[in-house]
Amino acid sequence: MAEFEQTKAYKKNKAGVDEERRTLFNKSLYAQYYGFIERQKDKGGNEILALTARGKIIYELIECDEQAHTCKLKDGALPLFQDLIWDSILFDTFGKRNDGAQDSQTDIDAPKVIFRTIFDLGFATNEEIFYVLFCLNRGDSGTLEINSSYEELLEKIKENRNNGIYDYSTFFENNGLTNKVDDSKVIDILSDPCISILVNNKQNGISFNYLSPTCQRFLNDKNKFNCWSVPHSFIIHARNVKKVVAWLNKTILNKSKNSKRCTWINASEYDISQFRKEIVRNVNLAYKVKHRTNQNKTQDVYMVTICSSENELDSYLGPFIDSLKRINDYTSPRHGESESFVSDDTIGVENICFPSNFHFISIINNQ
Write out pLDDT tens, residues 157-213: 999 999 999 999 888 888 777 776 777 778 888 888 888 899 989 888 889 999 998
173 alpha carbon, distance to own chain's centre: 29
In the structure, what pLDDT confidence band is assigned to residue 103 with cuts at 50, 70 and 90?
Answer: low
Query: Are 68 and 171 members of one domain?
Result: no
Domain span including residue 237: 233-365
Average pLDDT over residues 203-225: 80
Residue predicted with more confidence, 222 or 47: 47
Residue 350 has pLDDT above 50, yes or no: yes
Same domain, 118 and 143: yes
pLDDT in tens, 310-348: 999 999 999 999 999 999 888 788 889 999 999 999 899
Residue 98 lies in a domain: no
Residue 67 exposed, middle or buried by CB count within 10 Å (0-12, 13-18, 19+): exposed
In sequence order, what E strands does 90-248 have? 198-203, 206-211, 233-238
- Residues 113 and 161 both lie in one domain: yes
The pLDDT-based confidence of 6 (bands split at 50, 70, 90) is very low
User: Are 113 and 212 contained in the same domain?
Assistant: yes
Residue 17 lies in a domain: yes
Q: Quick one: 355 and 239 in the same domain?
A: yes
DSSP one-letter string for 261-295? TEEEEEGGGS-HHHHHHHHHHHHHHHHHHHT-S-T
**299 with 177, same domain?**
no
Residues 129 and 152 in one domain: yes
pLDDT tens figures, 307-320: 999 999 999 999 99
Give me the mean pLDDT over the 359-365 stretch.
95
Do 279 and 182 share a structural domain? no
Can you name the residues that pair with 363 across neighbouring β-strands?
Answer: 236, 306
Q: Is the pLDDT of residue 264 over 90?
A: yes
Do 252 and 218 lie in one domain? The reply is no
Q: What is the pLDDT of residue 318?
A: 93
**In terms of domains, do 198 and 134 share one?**
yes
| The pLDDT of residue 142 is above 70 | no
The overall average pLDDT reported for the chain is: 82
Rounded percentage of the chain residues whose pLDDT exceeds 90: 36
Same domain (yes/no): 27, 133 = no
The yes-or-no verdict on residue 89 having pLDDT over 60 is: yes
Residue 251 has pLDDT above 80, yes or no: yes
- Judge whether 115 lies within some domain: yes
Which among 171, 195, 223 is the end of a domain? 223
**Residues in Cβ contact with 114 at an 8 Å cutoff, skipping those fewer than 6 apart:** 129, 133, 186, 187, 190, 198, 209
Domain count along the chain? 3
Inside any domain, residue 251: yes
State which H helix or E strand residue 302 sits in.
strand 301-307
Q: Which of 193, 223, 253 is the last residue of a domain?
A: 223
My answer on whether 143 and 201 are in the same domain is: yes
Residue 249 in any domain: the answer is yes
Quick check: 35 and 254 in contact, CB under 8 A? yes
**Residue 65 placed within a domain:** yes
